[in-house]
Amino acid sequence: MSLTFDSARMPNPHMREEHEAWRTQLRRFVDTEIMPYAEQWDEDGHIPIELWPKAAEVGLLGLGYPEAFGGISEGIDSWHNWITNEELARIGVGGIPASLMVHGIGLPPVINWGSEAMKQAVAPSVIAGEKHIALGITEPGGGSDVANLSTTAERDGDHFIVNGSKTYITGGMRANWVSTAVRTGGEGPGGVSMLLIPTDAEGFSRTALDRKQGWWASDTATLYFDNVRVPVENLIGEENKGFLVIMTNFNGERMAMASGMEAMARVCLEEAVAWAQERKTFGKRLADHQVIRHKIAQMKQKLNATQAYVRACYESIESGTPNPGDIAMLKVQASETVEFCAREAMQILGGIGYMRGSRVERIYREVRVNAIGGGSEEIMRDLASRQYGI
């Protein structure tokens, strides 16, 4: 047995036949519709718009959303999600899942807290891959300290007038709507609301952030709101209760990121092992040098720990008792694991790993966005400490 992406995945007793069927079909989809072009899309800095309807057709975009909006939720559980995150991370171009699946952070606020009319207006077209939605929390003035955001939405009759800006917004260039965190009340978390802002509104503008360390295929943007009038009906949830919407959104985002990172780390292992078994130095295979064997064993050790931790967190979600502190620390566990594995795989590959065109080279550049976005490592530890009542 060798260590491949699949064989390095520990068995999970929760996986049933239909889960494996989904993995098989999704992998076929990825290997045919994405893999052959992934590297080029990354170099091009965007993915073709036609990918969304195709992803919708196989059920990727609708996963977990109500049937009434064209989604598929009956019988769907965390294990389908885990497989999806894994298989998309396996592409080894992080900007693709980030951008393709960004509705995974933009849409849940609408689905969970939006009015029926809002859901009807937004969800079906997003799930069909015809329109796009992003999540706008982070501002040029700061991302970690969400409670102190400064984009304002002032009431004017049956409208809000929005002023301010958001930055590092994934899917921001393409978005038709942005689920946006705004200040409607006083200081602190109690003055924050979520507002659905259509990007064709007057006073809205955006610029691309297209020079990044990684995630090139993703259309990151800075968004500007200059006296943008948004109807009051576009409030997502209650006025000044937006902080709760934001916080409940984070568990799903962090699970997706953590399980994706574990899979990226596993890609690093797969590439490193394949190379170590081929490449000869000093008269023997790299894999026969003890230093290299130990690197590989240690990568696997960290992967095992992360997999088990991912599974434990998904189990807690399945049983309806997720612990945000544990999920926050899982995100750190996963970013440290992918950081370690990307480093060690790069060392094993040597010069070839530094050349563009390999999954390890890309993943190496995508470690940091995972360690910072969706809640940085520092903020995750801080959150967990509070949760644990230290």
- By annotation, the residues acting in catalysis are 253
CB of 245 to ligand FAD, least distance (A): 13
Nearest to 241 by CA among 284, 281, 189, 196: 189
Secondary structure tally for the chain: helices H, strands E? 13, 10
Size of the residue set binding ligand FAD (CB under 6 A): 22
Q: Which does 242 bind (CB under 5 to 8 A by kind): ligand FAD, other proteins, none?
A: none
| 3-state SS assignment for residue 136 | strand
Residue numbers 21-60 binding ligand FAD by CB under 6 A: none
**Cα separation of 375 and 335, whole Å?**
11
Q: Does 142 bind ligand FAD (CB under 6 A)?
A: yes
Taking contact as CB under 8 A, which single stretch among the options 14-22, 143-151, 205-213, 325-333 is the one that binds other proteins? 14-22
Q: Does the protein bind ligand FAD through residue 378 (CB under 6 A)?
A: yes
Please return the burial class of 63, using the count of CB atoms within 10 Å of its CB with bins 0-12, 13-18 and 19+. buried
Do 144 and 379 meet the contact criterion of CB atoms below 8 Å apart? yes
Least distance between ligand FAD and beta carbon 215 (Å): 5
Q: Is the CB of residue 228 less than 8 Å from the CB of residue 176?
A: no
Are the C-beta atoms of 105 and 375 separated by less than 8 Å?
Answer: no
Binding partner selected for residue 169 from other proteins, ligand FAD, none, CB under the kind-specific 5 to 8 Å limit: ligand FAD
210 counts as binding ligand FAD under rule CB under 6 A:
no
Burial category of 288 from C-beta neighbours within 10 Å (exposed 0-12, middle 13-18, buried 19 and up): middle
Residue 135 binding partner per list other proteins, ligand FAD, none, with a CB distance cut-off of 5 to 8 Å that depends on partner kind: ligand FAD
Residue 291 near residue 364 (C-beta atoms within 8 A): no
Can residue 6 be called a binding residue for other proteins (CB under 8 A)?
yes
Q: Which stretch binds other proteins (CB under 8 A): 23-31, 150-158, 299-307, 336-344?
A: 23-31
Give CB contacts under 8 A, 24+ apart, made by 286-289: 286/348
Identified binder of other proteins from the candidate list 5, 12, 15, 76, rule CB under 8 A: 76
| Residue closer to other proteins, measured from CB, 25 or 115 | 25
What are the helix (H) ranges across the chain?
Answer: 17-29, 35-44, 51-57, 78-89, 95-100, 103-113, 116-127, 242-278, 290-318, 324-349, 351-354, 359-372, 377-387
Q: Taking CB under 6 A as the rule, does residue 170 contact ligand FAD?
A: yes
Report residue 109 as tokens.
């606020």
Angle at alpha carbon of residue 263, lines to 258 and 266, rounded to 5°: 130
Closer residue to ligand FAD in complex, CB, 167/337: 167
Q: Are 174 and 326 in contact (CB under 8 A)?
A: no
Contacts with other proteins in 44-73 (CB under 8 A)? 57-60, 62-63, 72
Least distance to other proteins, CB of residue 224, Å: 37
> Which of 77, 382 has the CB closer to other proteins?
77
Is residue 283 within the footprint of other proteins (CB under 8 A)?
A: no
In the complex, the residues that contact other proteins under the rule CB under 8 A are 6, 17-18, 20-22, 24-25, 28-29, 57-60, 62-63, 72, 74-76, 80
In the complex, the residues that contact ligand FAD under the rule CB under 6 A are 134-138, 142-144, 168-170, 212, 215, 220, 369, 372-374, 376, 378-379, 382
